[in-house]
Chain A
Amino acid sequence: MTTSPAAHELGRRLTEKAGRYGAVLLRTYGIVLAFVVLVAVVAASSPRFATQTNIFNLFSEWAPAGIMAVAMTFVILAGGFDLSIASGFSLCAVTAAAVGRAQDPAVAFLAALGVGLAIGLVNGVLVEGAKINPFITTVGTGFVLNGIALVATGNIAYLVDNPDFGTIGAGRWHGFPYAGMILIFCLVAGGLVLAKTVYGQSIYAVGGNAEASRLSGIRVGTTVGSTYVLSGLSMGVAGSITASQLNSAQANINPNIVFDVITIVVVGGTSLAGGIGSMWRTAVGLGIIATISNAFSLADVNPDYQDIVKGCIIIGALALDVYARRLAGRTRTRPRQVTRRTYRAQSPRRRA
């Protein structure tokens, strides 16, 4: 059978188009593909992975880091960075436990939220009011908060024996942890705010180009500062959940959580330069990190190896990001929306 040259040409164009479309799709959703493959591999190699109990437990385990990653997505998209979250998180947890020993759990968690809010306000004012570099500012406040937690507790663990205190962290509804629900709520709400609101749009704008945003009349300082407040509040929520899960809290409760949180955001593909990224990416990043560490514990591997793998993943994700951007630069972004027809319509001949 022979095909006419026209049909051949049409076929060639279609394959070419499909190839390009595929490249765009892969660039945008490659991280989802990676996640699906990872889950499939882990599920195939460990029968205990894809069980309801295991998955539900993962939600419970990763709720604190995930909730802080939601806020960190806001901070990074707006062009900032918050390294004070580990100390802030443990100070909030300590606050919840200390207040929870004498008071109603609700009061304890509100107190933790209050401390988180205060931390966020201080960070926001220092970074945007005093215009100090966010890395340095938040490393500094991190030290201070850590010191406050140590001094205030004398580095002793506060135990809470009120059984109601454990509800928010360890309570479950039909087996699904309340903490997981809070996490899902934060992800969905955060995603909607970023994608659908004026505030979300301002965050993308100031992260993408602060000067252009300022000249457009956007309140750059307030917008960026507010993301640190969100980050502070997320420390309060995450600290409360952890204290509740453990029925206790201590200064320095999990100093590595800051790296988990940043890894989650970055692995998802949100750019550290600001302005580019989204909440679903953070959700996928969380899924990837949670699955990998779960795979290690299911396989009974020495947890110290995890850190090596995590480190490699961060570097790999950033390398991939740079590579994808280079590809994107070469082929322009979102080619599928430019058609021959629309291009002609813009050619100067038609315009004039």
Chain B
Amino acid sequence: MVLSTRGIHKSFPGVRALHDVDFDLRAGEIHGLVGSNGAGKSTLVRIITGAHDADAGLLEAFGHKVRHGDPRARRRAGIAAIYQELTIVPELSAAANVFLGRPLHRGPFVSRSETHRAFRQLTTRLGLAIDPDVRAASLSVANQQMLEMLRALAADHRILVMDEPTASLGPAERERLYETIRGLREEGVATVFVSHHLDEVLALCDRVSVMRDGELVATEPVERWTKDSLVTAMLGHVLVKPPPLRRTIAEEEVLRVEGLSVPGVLADISFTLRRGEILGLGGLVGSGRTELLRALAGADADADGRLLVRGRERAWPRTVRSALALGIALAPEARKSQGLVLSLSAAANVSLTDMRTVASGPLLRERTRLRRAAEIMRSLGFGASRLREPAGSFSGGNQQKLVVGKWLHRRPEVLLMDEFTRGIDVGGKAEMLAVVTRLAGEGMSIIIVSSELEELVEGADRILVLARGRLIGELGRADASVERILRLVFEVERS
């Protein structure tokens, strides 16, 4: 047993985050940790890594009691944490990042040759090919994550805690990460792996623990779990999938794009979008999906192409405001940095997209605003009682609902949703898909992007497949499958 907690309790004011949690991590195992949003996974991870203090309970690493409240004590105890937000110094080289804080030196001078040698040794151990001199900022997110893992390995950490490490990775990059984690297991490193993606948890982990409402409800070897039994354990009851709403898509063409190009990013993309249609954009990370949405939303000043909105030719929108005037709105992929003003209340965030409707003249009408926000957010299954709290105090799933709620407030004709389920749990994902379907049923045309290709297959009426900034295929609902999308993609990527 390399790490164990006994009777951990943690409350936030009014919220019982953790209740009597006993968690064990064995040497050289990959231990999956799953649960819905708000189940307490992140809190437990933060207590293990020292970012939070437990109110009561005991934490032991390698048989020694770890004192509360000091992340550095954790590091000394051999615990390394990798969060979704990476701690890479972008301007430093890859090698310097790996040996950050404990540079290899000769006297007072950093030894370049020694650093390179040690770096190469580490990368070969994990079967990676990263240039030690390359600036960290120029590496992909996946490779930056690898640097963090190398850093943990260089410091000889025996316990690795990863909180949703695959959320921002594409399929190929995920595979590589799994390989790396397995490689670390061979080295005897124990990993706590937090993820919403149950398939990967089942494929990767040795044991899986499920959390629900602040309690650890079960820990079993992976062979004893199935996807269904995990979902049941997470939700405490059997999840009934809502039958897909039958919709008729109108003939009316809301959007026609011809020859859209963004220099160096997108080339000659043409497609149409009908009223009430859900169009999915498939492809790997970096294939140009996000850029396509941003170009449509006027967030990219370099975009050019022919645009017809409801049959009328329009100048390509170069500002967000001109796109909004055409009825096109973007719910961006990065909730915290692009989607929400975290310091403002949830209600204020919802009304931000159109403040005139909750104001008389220049004066805001606070009550109207709260009522309107409550109506919208209730329809998304979001408790209306917390609308006055700052957006930053909500969980990822609820923040995503706020981003969608913002645009329900304005009701654009075309809604572009980038990574619309990132960081949301199973229940939340089903809810979000239902919301999208409902909106389309009400006549909104929606373009969705998701790295979870299953969701596109399940939710979209039609899927456009992108690779290297080009449109390489189109799949109707009848012939869409994850395999087909990937086959299309890899034909291009291999060449």
Contacts and interface: CB of A to CB of B under 8 A. Distances in A.
B363 A333 contact: no
Contacts of A212: 332, 337-341, 352
Contacts of A197: 359, 362-364
A130 interface: no
A340 B19 CA distance: 14
A51 interface: no
Q: Interface on chain A toward B: helix, strand, loop, or mixed SS?
A: helix
Contact of A218 (B12, B352, B410): B352
Interface string B220-250: 0000000000000011110100000000000
B484 interface: no
A204 B344 contact: yes
Interface centre among B16, B321, B352, B353 (most CB of A within 10 A): B352
B14 A340 contact: yes
A348 B382 CA distance: 11
Contacts of A331: 12-13
Contacts of A208: 341-344
Q: How large is the interface on A (under 10, 10 to 19, 20 to 34, 35 or more residues)?
A: 35 or more
A201 B330 CA distance: 21
B452 interface: no
A209 B342 contact: yes
Interface centre among B39, B343, B362 (most CB of A within 10 A): B343
A174 interface: no
B299 A348 contact: no
B364 A343 contact: no
Contacts of A351: 381, 427, 431
Contacts of B36: 348
Nearest to A275: B343
Interface residues of B, number: 59
Interface centre among B12, B13, B364 (most CB of A within 10 A): B13
A271 to B, nearest CB: 9
A219 interface: yes
A199 B362 contact: yes
A348 B235 contact: yes
Contact of A352 (B37, B39, B235, B386): B235
B356 interface: yes
A131 interface: no
Contacts of A198: 355-356, 359, 362-364
Given A338-B13, A338-B15, A339-B14, A346 B320 contact: no
A334 interface: yes
B321 A345 contact: no
Interface string A80-124: 000000000000000000000000000000000000000000000
Contact of A332 (B213, B330, B393, B427): B393
B388 A337 contact: yes
A339 B362 CA distance: 34
Nearest to B395: A346
B364 A201 contact: yes
A351 B381 CA distance: 7
Given A198-B359, A204-B341, A346-B38, A335 B320 contact: no
B331 to A, nearest CB: 9
Contacts of A213: 341, 352
A332 B52 CA distance: 12
Interface string B55-66: 000000000000
Interchain residue pairs A-B with the least CB separation, the first 7:
A335-B13, A208-B341, A338-B14, A208-B343, A342-B385, A348-B36, A346-B383
Given A212-B339, A335-B14, 16 more contacts: A196-B364, A197-B362, A204-B341, A204-B343, A215-B330, A215-B339, A217-B410, A333-B393, A343-B15, A346-B38, A347-B38, A348-B37, A348-B234, A349-B235, A352-B237, A352-B427
25 contacts: A196-B364, A198-B356, A204-B348, A208-B341, A208-B344, A212-B338, A212-B339, A212-B340, A215-B297, A215-B338, A216-B353, A216-B406, A219-B321, A330-B52, A331-B12, A333-B393, A337-B385, A338-B13, A339-B14, A346-B383, A346-B398, A348-B39, A348-B234, A352-B239, A352-B427
